[in-house]
Amino acid sequence: MHVTVENRSVTPAHEAEFEVVERKGIGHPDSMADILAEEFSRRYSRYGLDTLGIVPNHWVDKVALIGAAATVDFGGFSVDKPISSYLFGKLTRAIGDTSMPIEDLFRNASTDVLVAATRDPRIIDYVRHAVENTSGTAVDHPPAFYRPIDAVAAEQATALRANDTAFCAAHAPATPTEQLAITLENLVNGPEFATMFPAAGSDVKVMLLRGDARLDVTLCLPFHPGMTPTGESYRGMLAAAHEHIAALAAVAALGLGISDPVHVAVNTKDVEGGAYLAPFGTSLGKGDCGLVGRGNKADGVIASSRSAGVEALAGKNPVHHTGKLYTLAATRIADRVHAELGLANETVLMSRNGDPLDQPAFVGVRLGGRAGRAQRVVIDEIAHDTISRLDLLTKWLLETPAIERFRDPRVQVEG
């Protein structure tokens, strides 16, 4: 495995003239689709491990949440068509005579994720679930790939080879603006804020713009219609929430070393009596849809200054899908290069379908500074060490609930 290193080919994002960073909150439909796909994959994988000693092959990065048709007004709402929770993708339904309880695993994962993300258990009364399995056999996918006769055949069918041709990108360090986006969303969707503002929902979006010696924060905050009886009550709660969010943002910004003035705007669409009311505290309750891959990137934000692949991690096989593993490995390499050498960088990994998993087709590290010969040796060692221990990333994925990884997207592995 060769590691290509470029000197001074990256302008550290925090040094750019401007920076735009978005974070979709935990109750955003796209966030919930990502979390659900990932949590189903985790539970499905663990069931296979506990029952048969292997992770059955699967690729379910096409979860879709279709919003309810609802009538919403101050004081309440009615649902005319329920939310649809769909699991689309390729699944191993059985290994020999042992069936995988796919529908039960998905229904339970969907229930747990939607309730935890919205903090409103009533949402489950308005959800219907469906699984659409698209797997089959072909010349390049023999029967053992999705229809194995036993666990040995299932394991041999994958043999730790890359399951896609993909490129994955990561960067380090995170900028204070990126960190603030995550911190502020977690605070607004945290227990203290929920206690202070029980009518507020979780479908929060945070957009930060750093530039011209100031930081602009635009935040969308929904309110439960049943707890918002009038337009006057909405405006009163919104004003109090706005004031509190501004204080939270100012304190968090200072804690991250941001000295620029912070300006906060909340629910900017509210004009002429408008209000952000959402059943169950999420726009999924009034028609919006959520799809895997449209939410935050692996680092927890969507940033204008960052290069990134188009891979959607959620729902991909945690054992051999490079779109998932190589994104996390690139993140680990980038973080370690910065931590050990103090060099801002972007790291890119590329895989070719069918290649050995521990032999990426390309590893590249673009630096925000200059690396001498000794530092290049360290970068090479970091890359080789990370790739040789992809099993640590798989272990972390299987052991950590998806909703916890959403709240804290740092890649945390032992060793």
DSSP annotation string for 187-242: HHTSHHHHHH-TTB-S--EEEEEEETTEEEEEEE--B-GGG--SHHHHHHHHHHHH
Could you read off the pLDDT of 337-360 as tens digits, one per residue? 999 999 999 999 999 998 999 999
String of b and e for 267-288 (b: at least 16 CB within 10 Å)? beeeeeeebbbbbbbbbbbbbb
Q: Is residue 206 within 8 Å of residue 300, measured between CB atoms?
A: no
Per-residue pLDDT, averaged over 14-34, amounts to 92
Domain 19-24+176-282: which CATH number of 3.20.20.70, 3.30.420.10, 3.30.300.340, 1.10.10.10: 3.30.300.340
CATH 3.30.200.20 is held by the domain 3-16+165-174+305-407: no
In the predicted structure, residue 120 carries a pLDDT above the cut 90: yes
* Residues 83, 95: Cα–Cα separation, whole Å: 32
For 361, other C-beta atoms within 10 Å of its C-beta total 16
DSSP annotation string for 313-356: -TTB-TTT-HHHHHHHHHHHHHHHHHHHH---EEEEEEE-TTSB
Q: Which residue has the higher pLDDT, 310 or 289?
A: 289
Q: Which residue has the higher pLDDT, 362 or 137?
A: 362
CATH 3.30.300.10 is held by the domain 29-158: yes
Q: What is the pLDDT at residue 278?
A: 98
Rg (CA), the chain: 23
Domains 19-24+176-282 and 29-158 share a fold: yes
Could you read off the pLDDT of 224-270 as tens digits, one per residue? 999 999 999 999 999 999 999 999 999 999 999 998 899 999 999 99
Q: What is the pLDDT at residue 197?
A: 98
Q: Which residue has the higher pLDDT, 9 or 177?
A: 177
Token pair belonging to 83: 């939310």
In the predicted structure, residue 333 carries a pLDDT above the cut 90: yes
Q: What is the pLDDT at residue 415?
A: 63
- What rounded mean pLDDT belongs to the chain? 93
In the predicted structure, residue 211 carries a pLDDT above the cut 80: yes
Per-domain residue ranges for the chain? Answer: 3-16+165-174+305-407, 19-24+176-282, 29-158
- pTM of this structure: 0.95
CA dihedral 401, 402, 407, 412 (to 10 degrees): 70
